[in-house]
A and B are shown apart, each in its own frame.
Chain A
Amino acid sequence: MATPTLDKADAAGTPEPGFADSPYITATFRIRRFNPEVSAEAVWEDFQLEIDPKERVLDALHKIKWDHDGTLTFRRSCAHGICGSDAMRINGKNRLACKTLIKDINPAKPITVEPIKGLTVLKDLVVDMEPFFQAYRDVMPFLITKETNEPTRERLQTAEDRERFDDTTKCILCAACTSSCPVFWNDGQYFGPAAIVNAHRFIFDSRDDAGEQRLEILNDKDGVWRCRTTFNCTDACPRGIEVTKAIQEVKRALITRRF
């Protein structure tokens, strides 16, 4: 196992968060590595870094990649929790690496970083997102209206009607919820929480006319009834969406046919 150590001079490239007095600490990152071009087996590898605990886990991954091991592979883009690229399992919980500060995950012990579960690992922390996006596309995630003549101005919507589905519009399709769901781990056919969240976003939009169709899709054997209300998804969501509540609302709408 390689255990390279970073010194402070190396830390220049990544911005330090806004605390002048923060001391550097030594932290160990234990990362699940997999590269089928090299070996069919995944292995754990340890990296020791001197790092400001107020930095993000993503900063630590960058330090490793940029200064020690360029082969370490992960997705990322925005670095502030808005693009949904970097969901991973950090100390056994699904989180965005760019939204997780090192000080908040007990850096006294080795910090484990693994790919999210239930989707095929392609290399290191990169998984195949296609099945996830397929489930999303299957719920018809777009506004469908019956009106034959488009209005010339905007459709009207009261602030209350707009508020009704506000929570589920926040989704960034990061897959943290779906890949934390034990039902999804056991059966990849299950739509998974993220697809249901995105169906909810339209079912409860007063401007949409295809709620019934979407409910029928989710009434399927791989649909909403598979949910066992474990709340893993709500805990995992980096956008603070009440995922389980949204799923419950869809279930209730299926029973009452009111939404």
Chain B
Amino acid sequence: MKIHKYDTVIVGAGGAGMRAAIESTKRSRTAVLTKLYPTRSHTGAAQGGMAAALANVEEDNWEWHTFDTIKGGDYLVDQDAAEILAKEAIDAVLDLEKMGLPFNRTPDGTIDQRRFGGHSRNHGEAPVRRSCYAADRTGHMILQTLYQNCVKEGVEFFNEFYVLDQLITEVDGVKTSAGVVAYELATGEIHVFQAKAVIYASGGTGKFFKVTSNAHTLTGDGQAAVYRRGLPLEDMEFFQFHPTGIWRMGILLTEGARGEGGILRNKDGERFMEKYAPVMKDLASRDVVSRSIYTEIREGRGCGPEGDHVYLDLTHLPPEQLDAKLPDITEFARTYLGIEPYTDPIPIQPTAHYAMGGIPTNVQGEVLADNTTVVPGLYAAGEVACVSVHGANRLGTNSLLDINVFGRRAGIAAAQYSATVDHVELPEDPASLVVSQIERLRSSTGGERVADIRRELQETMDANVMVFRTEQTIKTAVEKIAELRERYLNVSVQDKGKRFNTDLLEAVELGNLLDLAEVMAVSALARKESRGGHYREDYPNRDDVNFMRHTMAYREVGDDGTESIRLDYKPVVQTRYQPMERKY
């Protein structure tokens, strides 16, 4: 075991982690621990764009953006945070441009902007051009630009280091962050990083679903690490299902395709979104469009022999426009489906896409231990966190924005904090939990296989807690997850070695997915209403009286060692916007 000492440790090198690192490296001795090489992070997969009311191509302002974000989030958004997001968006985009990001340009040479779902002029009047973009590889350009600037600033990376545990020390009765424990992939060695401040920026947790746009590596490691240490997870029942994933594969086809004029059609060729969202049509918010697609499928208007998908039709758009604006996604259709989007519609279905919930933080990125108390020295930003700017449903282009705005804020706040305090003492035998976890998995002779349990988990989640949920389906999921957790205790790995033991780490990741799936299902069961991404067929309406509040899920361990989940609730911060019915 090796011990390292830093002022600030950042867990993750996606957009949020690197944006934080650029700030914190300038102000404090910083280490970035990342399980992937930075440029492999899933921010690079983001396509469509990043929202900011620059008003470069038409009238726009940050107040309209704030309103859209709150409405899009079905009023579960903390309104003070949404206002910060929308206001700071403008500088966030300009900062990236100054760092070198090659945005698409208008004829005047300014940053070009395009339409995106749920973004409107003047509180819902009509779609507005607010998304700043670089073709359909905006996330790629953000990730590259941030990495380039990390190289410039000399950010210190520990690549292929898996953070597996959060260290907490009680200081005068207050839970305080002391550092993290990481596993080095290349050698199997365990490292303890003592740090005054830790920032989690470890991304989402989509891999508990089968059809997903998320990378294999998005397994919620950060959420699981803090949750296991008794800290809460907020709003985990809210997961976004993006309307246009490639049929069965889940690979994303950006909403930008509809922003450019693409149309969803059922088997009769009907533009069915006109029925469900007369104003915004194909550009209504994602939860609305995903439900509409499944309604079409259920009512027998799905396409293909099994009627299990619909079409994204781009054939009426000029090939030059597709080449210039959507080169990557048209290539996905050619590579993976053998379909030519110039002439043929693309089969699509909703795909599990984005975790609205996560580690609760305030607007400085400080992690909360309960509804109000901050954990000194602990920060989170990006998809791993829940500020909450996305509420019950995130608007497209607001996440690339979130990682930049709150990544930057967390980086500054953490570095400033670490400049004012000393290291707190490490807990005794700090690596013990990780050592025993690794040893148990490596030496187990149990008969269960990681791949089997993961498959069953993913199938259960797709079948029971996806776009439509009921008490019955969620209970089925809860029971199945409990069974899988039991079986997980008997999991064994074939690779017993130290070097690059990805077999072992997949087992660890599966443990995280199981924990988080359970939190999601239990939180969903208790929320007896429909709001944003959480749709209960048995409670189809939003219930502001009982449920306009955030779920806070805590792991409890009884005296006999049994684990359970305790749910609590946190009020939504409301400033100037009264909840209204959401229509698009």
A joins B in a complex:
yes
Once the chains bind, are A169 and B134 in contact (CB under 8 Å)?
A: yes
A171: nearest chain-B partner, CB-CB: B144
Q: Which residues of chain B from 291 to 326 have any CB-CB distance to chain A below 8 Å in the complex?
A: 304-306, 309
Q: Which residues of chain A from 78 to 136 have any CB-CB distance to chain B below 8 Å in the complex?
A: 78-85, 99, 101, 122-124, 126, 129, 133
A123 to B141, CA, bound (A): 31
B248: nearest chain-A partner, CB-CB: A15
Once the chains bind, are B102 and A156 in contact (CB under 8 Å)?
A: no
A37: nearest chain-B partner, CB-CB: B497
Closest CB of chain A to B160's CB: distance in Å?
9
A79 to B261, CA, bound (A): 27
A90 to B542, CA, bound (A): 53
A82 to B98, CA, bound (A): 24
Of the listed stretches A41-49, A62-70, A224-232, A245-253, chain B binds: A62-70
Once the chains bind, are A172 and B44 in contact (CB under 8 Å)?
A: yes
Q: Which of A18, A101, A171, A207 contacts B347 (CB 8 A)?
A: A18
Once the chains bind, are B249 and A83 in contact (CB under 8 Å)?
A: no
Once the chains bind, are B98 and A15 in contact (CB under 8 Å)?
A: no
B40 at the interface (CB under 8 A from A): yes
B71 at the interface (CB under 8 A from A): no
Once the chains bind, are A83 and B215 in contact (CB under 8 Å)?
A: yes
B339: nearest chain-A partner, CB-CB: A18
Question: What are 30 residue pairs bridging A and B, where the CB atoms are less than 8 Å apart in the complex?
Answer: A13-B451, A18-B249, A18-B347, A65-B502, A65-B503, A73-B500, A73-B501, A73-B503, A77-B36, A77-B216, A77-B217, A79-B215, A79-B251, A81-B335, A82-B44, A83-B44, A83-B45, A85-B37, A122-B499, A122-B500, A124-B500, A142-B99, A142-B151, A142-B152, A154-B97, A156-B105, A156-B110, A158-B105, A162-B103, A172-B140
User: Which 5 pairs between the two chains have the least Cβ-Cβ distance?
Assistant: A143-B100, A70-B494, A66-B451, A156-B109, A70-B503
Residues in B lying within 8 Å of A, measured CB to CB = 36-37, 39-42, 44-45, 93-94, 97-100, 102-111, 134-135, 137, 140-141, 144, 148-149, 151-152, 186, 210-211, 215-217, 246-251, 304-306, 309, 328, 332, 335-338, 347, 449-451, 454-455, 458-459, 493-495, 497-503
Residues in A lying within 8 Å of B, measured CB to CB = 12-13, 15-20, 35-38, 54, 65-67, 69-71, 73-85, 99, 101, 122-124, 126, 129, 133, 137, 141-143, 150-159, 162, 165-166, 169-173, 202, 205, 207-208
Additional A-B contact list (15), CB under 8 Å, known A20-B306, A78-B216, A124-B500: A12-B459, A15-B210, A71-B495, A74-B502, A77-B217, A78-B42, A99-B335, A141-B151, A143-B100, A154-B93, A154-B110, A169-B134, A170-B137, A205-B100, A208-B100
